[in-house]
A and B are shown apart, each in its own frame.
Chain A
Amino acid sequence: MSGLSWARLAIVVIVGVVVQVAVLDQLVVLGAHPDLMVLLAAAAGLAGGPQSGAMVGFTTGLVADLFVDTPYGLSSLTFVLVGFAVGLLRSIPAGREVGSAQVAACIVAGAAGTLLYAVLGALAGQSGMLGHGTANAVLVVTIGSIVLAPIALACLRWVFSRGRSRAGYAVPSGGSATA
């Protein structure tokens, strides 16, 4: 968990939700819009590992849930699972193309997260979660993620960059390891 700055996370989540609600929600194509919030959870998994991914996913989900009309907690549940699952990928050694592999993982996680959200919503007894609208939502989120995933990754690397060397190992830095 070292390296996670809660202050920076708060900034990223708040700016993220403002961008989501005020900008991305307006870009409706095929009845769906891009989703930045699920990418923040996925990027947290990549930047901080499974545990951090789950925690950031939970926080992000609670905030995202304030602005949708599905049951409160549905996004948190989805994002916890997404953040954790993507975090497990981080331990798989990647070659030189780490950056683009992470972006690709983020995009796939965005699509999978959207599908998972629909399935969990249906399991929670919500009508109309699964249908051909779901396919459109997954498609639009995936396309949107191509643009948004690198941004989300950059933001979350910044969130996790406290007291970390470039290689991604925790380095104690002048007694300010906790934040």
Chain B
Amino acid sequence: MASTRRTSQRVTLLMLVLASVTVLTLDYRGEVSHGITHVRNAARDVLAPLQRGIAAALHPIGDLFAGAARYGSVQAQNQQLQTSIGDLRRKMSEYAAEQQQLRQIAALDKVPFVSNITMIDAEVLSAPTSNFRDTLELDRGTSSGVAVGEPVVGSNGLVGTVTSAGSSTATVQLITDTRSSVDIRLDADASGFGVVTGRGQGELLNLQLVSGSPYVKETVYTAGTVAAGAGAYPAGLPVGTVSSVHSSPGGFSNTATVTPLANLDSLQYVGVLLWLPSP
């Protein structure tokens, strides 16, 4: 009796493991993967309104948790801020939360670096939806013109690229995601080109230079070259500023770390550029 039960347990386990592996394998195949993407987008569309409501209510609480975890660095930063921009902070606190949101949208409206590309504003629905991927959910989808591959910007610089789009939601892969790579050029050095790759949520970006040598605090911009695979961006979007440079003694290539210009930790509104690389 006990042994038959044990056998049936093992059969169940084996069946379910095989079923999972089958699903997993199918997701790597083009057509089925397409279907799964459809189902995923539909499910996200269904939850979007709920997410929106609860996210609005929870933003302050999430900020509180994030603040508690980074207490040390926040404290140090706070001291700097108090000396340098104390006056500004007092003014800021007078504004209500809604006015701040409004300002974010207004800032997006006149983003200087995307003057000739149509841009639509989108609200960020949720923080990263997986512990192992650096993505955001937006409240705009294909019904607003969002399509896979379109670049996403904040008011300061590049945020990422759309990796899937439902009718009313879209998923954005941030430039800090380990799968992200962006071709860039250096600000001052006209012949300086490189590739910026993500190292995970909250980490600085990695810059591998193909040519040229960067200096600290130099801004890097998208190069506009269309790389094979994901991650094509129009030229001239600011990506980040160089925070440290490491040159190898052999001198074959330089690497550097880059701080993203867009404040990726606390994005509430972003702009989706209706721009796709010409095939």
Contact = CB atoms under 8 A, between A and B. Distances in A.
Interface in B39-60: 39-40, 43-44, 47, 50-51, 53-55, 58-59
Interface string A54-67: 11011001100011
B23 A72 contact: yes
A51 B173 CA distance: 37
Contacts of A11: none
A133 B200 contact: yes
Contacts of A114: 131
B86 interface: no
Interface stretch (B87-95, B105-113, B122-130): B122-130
A31 B200 contact: yes
Contacts of B171: 69
A134 B61 CA distance: 24
Interface residues of A, number: 53
A17 to B, nearest CB: 8
B132 A26 contact: no
Contacts of B69: 29-30
A131 B50 CA distance: 33
Contacts of A72: 23-24, 26-27, 33, 36, 40
Contacts of B9: 49-51, 84
A28 B19 contact: no
A26 B173 CA distance: 17
A172 to B, nearest CB: 18
B132 A133 contact: yes
A18 B47 contact: yes
Interface string B1-40: 0000000110011001101111111111000010010011
Contacts of A94: none
Given A51-B12, A72-B36, A33 B23 contact: no
17 contacts: A22-B47, A22-B50, A25-B128, A25-B129, A26-B54, A28-B65, A33-B128, A50-B12, A58-B20, A68-B129, A69-B135, A72-B26, A73-B23, A73-B27, A74-B24, A128-B200, A133-B201
Interface of B: 8-9, 12-13, 16-17, 19-28, 33, 36, 39-40, 43-44, 47, 50-51, 53-55, 58-59, 61-62, 65-66, 68-69, 126-133, 135, 163-164, 171, 173, 177-179, 200-202
Interface of A: 17-18, 21-23, 25-33, 35, 49-51, 54-55, 57-58, 61-62, 66-74, 76-77, 80-81, 84, 114, 117-118, 121, 124, 126-129, 131, 133-134, 137, 140-141
Given A30-B202, A131-B178, 18 more contacts: A22-B53, A25-B126, A26-B127, A28-B62, A30-B69, A54-B13, A54-B16, A58-B20, A69-B133, A69-B173, A70-B130, A74-B24, A76-B19, A77-B17, A126-B132, A128-B179, A140-B131, A141-B131
